[in-house]
Chains A and B, each alone.
Chain A
């Protein structure tokens, strides 16, 4: 079945790196995404990776994809207090409408 799991909570000190993990079960996903949600707001696309890639770097963000283990991670370098938010991973399923399956969300708290 379709299931995307994330750890619920992560706390890091300002300046450290954050690593948010995600595991998924549907191997037919084409793209995987990371979104950020601040309190009371919608979702902001951070980055995405094609399922045939294993790494993508975009400024402070590094995405790693292990397709064999169905594991996706997001590393945020030099984490800042403004990075405090909920982070969702999502996979795009080629089901006709290419709907997303969202992860459970990880609440990142950055301590000054």
Chain B
């Protein structure tokens, strides 16, 4: 149980285009989803937290107009990188958590590697 699917796993796009990444909880209801960015050989950097049906909470320094997050249902959250540029190339990972479960465990997707040309 507790499977999180992230799609696509790899995307290459041209500079100036927008890219949407999906994160789905397959067998549980995700009251909260998190979006992270990971640079090579570094730890995960939290970008934003989203609760189903409400606006995402962005971490300091993360542009909300650049990284649009939607969490319209208890099983799906999307991250859209708008007008992507080469500096947005990175590994993006989502996680999902069920707040009703007391242990606050986050279950992670497999990640999306974004390359902006």
Q: Which residues of A contact B (CB under 8 A)?
A: 30-31, 33, 35, 40-45, 48, 50, 88, 92, 97-100, 102-105
Q: Is the interface of B mostly helix, strand, loop or mixed?
A: strand
Q: Is B43 an interface residue (CB 8 A)?
A: yes
CB distance from B99 to the nearest CB of A (A): 7
Given A31-B103, A92-B104: A99 touches B34 (CB 8 Å cut-off):
yes
Of B13-21, B67-75, B79-87, B109-117, the segment with at least 4 beta carbons within 8 Å of chain A is B109-117
Known contacts A43-B95, A50-B103, A97-B32, then 15 further A-B pairs from the complex at CB < 8 Å, ordered by chain A residue: A31-B105, A40-B113, A42-B4, A42-B110, A44-B108, A45-B106, A45-B107, A92-B104, A98-B32, A98-B97, A99-B34, A99-B46, A103-B43, A104-B42, A104-B43
CB-based contact B43/A97 at 8 Å: no
Chain B contact patch, size range: 20 to 34
Q: Does B25 contact A (CB under 8 A)?
A: no
